[in-house]
Chain A
Amino acid sequence: MDYTPLVLSLQLAGITTLLLLLVAAPLAYILVFYPMRGITFVESLLGLPLVLPPTVFGFFLLMVMGPEGVVGRLHQSSLGSPLIFTFGSIVIAAMLHGIPYAVQPLKSIFAKLDRRLLESASVLGCSRFSAFFRVVLPNSLPGIASAAILCFAHTMGEFGVILMIGGSIPGETKVASIAVFEYVEAMRYQEAWQLSIALLLVSYLILLAVNILERKNHAA
């Protein structure tokens, strides 16, 4: 039994979650604390991945990240190699697809923050930039944790988008969900079972660990 696809899924989910949080935290911060004119348009745009079918999303990405697309051409000219059909390309796809799952929990926890904390920080001479790191983030840990869990879980379950753009390259873009799909199509049902059960166990263990941690946090 080949577990490479499962490892690849875990890698993809881990890297995507990490990078996505780095992008989503400042984004949510701006959305909550500095709502500029026309921000509704941006917010609606960020929510699109929730609504668009993965096939549509994947189709757009294929066109944009391919050598004929804007992003693909930019990548090719700056780094000298094509972007599409690489691990990097599915990380980008998963990040774009996961944006609302990261931004929403962060936004709601930021919105609940006690504004007086920020005011005190400001009075005490804290810049907006350092207030973000020293006040906002430490007080938002539960929101950050739930954003991370949602991103991780969503990426583990990513299928349609990767099916559209991945090209099913072993060790590169053939993640667990794709591998199961192919086993079924190839009538290799035993392997489909094995990989599915492994995926189920790993997913359950992750959720269990998260819930135990959460319990401990609440108790503390």
Chain B
Amino acid sequence: MASKQAVKSSPFLAVALLVAILCAAPSLAAENLFIAAAANFIRPLEELAKMYREEQGVRTTLSFGSSGKLYAQILQGAPYDIFLSADKERPFLLYGKGLCEPPFQYSAGQVVLWSRYHHSADSSWQDIISEQVGKIAISNPETAPYGKVPRQTLHQLKLLKELQPYLVYGQSVGQTFLFAQSGAAEFGFIALSQALSQEGQKGQYWPIPESPPIEQWGCVIVHAKNQNLSQNFQSYLTEEPAQNIIRRHGYL
């Protein structure tokens, strides 16, 4: 009899537990900042989020993707508090639609040519790439600024036509790095911050002086759950201690 009762009561217990968890969840989330950021900014942002939590006691939830995907998600009402784009265009488009506060610049990235294979370190990136035999990975120029800028540079230097058949496209600069890192592509146009990472240091990189820096802008989403907190993070991000960390990761 006793065992039967135990069996009967267990679903109730489970439901009660579930209800308790669901009720507890919102109060946990109150001091939580939801940040959507471009894939190239993963490493600095993870470090910054950890520091922010230690200093200010605020948890952050980070979501990474290409700027284009995150932008489309915000248009559809994704519950992000802050959007850190890899370009200037998308935050201002959101601002134009009244979906965010005035955008702010938080960093400027640089694009470099990277390979896991050994090449002459003294040569320029143009000499190196013109000797390529394999594929060249580049981020989708339409969705990723880290693909748009090198493509423009190739075009301006009249190299695009010749190299076009060798280009393969990553959906974000993260995937582009994977293509080059795995050797599937001989070269990759990636962010300097990736080249400086632990994985990136296993290969070689060449600066591309012809490519302008990539201004990265962000904005606080209008329907952010906690406006004050979001504004606070914005100023945190643009002040000196945070900027030092960002620079250390290969940004300007």
Knowing A82-B135, A85-B168, A184-B72, the reply to whether A168 touches B140 (Cβ < 8 A) is yes
Considering the chains assembled together, what is the distance between the CA atoms of A213 and B175 in angstroms?
A: 43
Q: Counting CB contacts under 8 A, is B95 at the interface?
A: no
Q: Counting CB contacts under 8 A, is B115 at the interface?
A: no
Assess whether B142 is in contact with A67, with CB atoms less than 8 Å apart. no
Considering the chains assembled together, what is the distance between the CA atoms of A168 and B139 in angstroms?
A: 10
Assess whether B179 is in contact with A167, with CB atoms less than 8 Å apart. yes
Assess whether B68 is in contact with A168, with CB atoms less than 8 Å apart. no
Assess whether A167 is in contact with B178, with CB atoms less than 8 Å apart. no
Assess whether A182 is in contact with B142, with CB atoms less than 8 Å apart. yes
Point out the residues of chain A lying under 8 angstroms from B167, CB to CB: 169
Considering the chains assembled together, what is the distance between the CA atoms of A84 and B167 in angstroms?
A: 13
Q: Which of B128-175 contact A (CB under 8 A)?
A: 134-135, 137, 140, 142-143, 167-171, 175
Considering the chains assembled together, what is the distance between the CA atoms of A184 and B93 in angstroms?
A: 15
Q: Counting CB contacts under 8 A, is A63 at the interface?
A: yes
Assess whether A63 is in contact with B170, with CB atoms less than 8 Å apart. no
Separation in Å of the A71 CB from the closest CB of chain B?
12
Considering the chains assembled together, what is the distance between the CA atoms of A84 and B185 in angstroms?
A: 9
Considering the chains assembled together, what is the distance between the CA atoms of A184 and B101 in angstroms?
A: 24
Considering the chains assembled together, what is the distance between the CA atoms of A113 and B177 in angstroms?
A: 52
Assess whether B170 is in contact with A187, with CB atoms less than 8 Å apart. no
* A68, A82, A168, A185: the one within 8 Å of B69 (CB): A185
Considering the chains assembled together, what is the distance between the CA atoms of A208 and B193 in angstroms?
A: 52
Assess whether B135 is in contact with A187, with CB atoms less than 8 Å apart. no
Q: Counting CB contacts under 8 A, is A93 at the interface?
A: no
Task: Give B186's nearest chain A residue, CB to CB.
Answer: A67
Separation in Å of the B140 CB from the closest CB of chain A?
6
Considering the chains assembled together, what is the distance between the CA atoms of A51 and B41 in angstroms?
A: 32
Assess whether B171 is in contact with A62, with CB atoms less than 8 Å apart. no
Considering the chains assembled together, what is the distance between the CA atoms of A168 and B137 in angstroms?
A: 10
Q: Which of A75-112 contact B (CB under 8 A)?
A: 82, 84-85
Residues of A within 8 Å of B, CB-based: how many? 23
Separation in Å of the B173 CB from the closest CB of chain A?
13
Task: Give A185's nearest chain B residue, CB to CB.
Answer: B68
Separation in Å of the A139 CB from the closest CB of chain B?
45
Q: Counting CB contacts under 8 A, is A66 at the interface?
A: yes
Assess whether B69 is in contact with A66, with CB atoms less than 8 Å apart. no
Point out the residues of chain B lying under 8 angstroms from A63, CB to CB: 182
Assess whether A68 is in contact with B168, with CB atoms less than 8 Å apart. no
Assess whether B183 is in contact with A187, with CB atoms less than 8 Å apart. no
Point out the residues of chain A lying under 8 angstroms from B69, CB to CB: 184-185
Considering the chains assembled together, what is the distance between the CA atoms of A164 and B185 in angstroms?
A: 13
* A65, A68, A164, A185: the one within 8 Å of B143 (CB): A185
Assess whether A185 is in contact with B137, with CB atoms less than 8 Å apart. no
* B143, B175, B184: the one within 8 Å of A85 (CB): B184
Assess whether A186 is in contact with B178, with CB atoms less than 8 Å apart. no
Q: Counting CB contacts under 8 A, is A175 at the interface?
A: no
Task: Give B141's nearest chain A residue, CB to CB.
Answer: A186
Task: Give A184's nearest chain B residue, CB to CB.
Answer: B72
Knowing A168-B168, A168-B171, the reply to whether A67 touches B68 (Cβ < 8 A) is no
Separation in Å of the B16 CB from the closest CB of chain A?
33
Assess whether B71 is in contact with A167, with CB atoms less than 8 Å apart. no
Point out the residues of chain A lying under 8 angstroms from B216, CB to CB: none
Q: Counting CB contacts under 8 A, is B66 at the interface?
A: yes
Point out the residues of chain B lying under 8 angstroms from A164, CB to CB: 175
Point out the residues of chain A lying under 8 angstroms from B170, CB to CB: 167
Point out the residues of chain B lying under 8 angstroms from A184, CB to CB: 68-69, 72
Considering the chains assembled together, what is the distance between the CA atoms of A168 and B169 in angstroms?
A: 5
Assess whether A182 is in contact with B143, with CB atoms less than 8 Å apart. yes
Point out the residues of chain A lying under 8 angstroms from B171, CB to CB: 163, 168, 181-182, 185
Considering the chains assembled together, what is the distance between the CA atoms of A65 and B71 in angstroms?
A: 33
Knowing A167-B179, A169-B169, A185-B69, the reply to whether A84 touches B184 (Cβ < 8 A) is yes
CB-defined A-B contacts under 8 Å, sample of 7 = A62-B178, A66-B182, A165-B184, A167-B137, A167-B170, A168-B140, A186-B142
20 new A-B contacts, CB < 8 A, other than A164-B175, A187-B68, are A65-B184, A66-B182, A67-B183, A72-B184, A84-B135, A85-B135, A85-B168, A163-B171, A165-B184, A167-B170, A167-B184, A167-B185, A168-B171, A182-B142, A184-B72, A185-B68, A185-B72, A185-B140, A187-B72, A187-B93
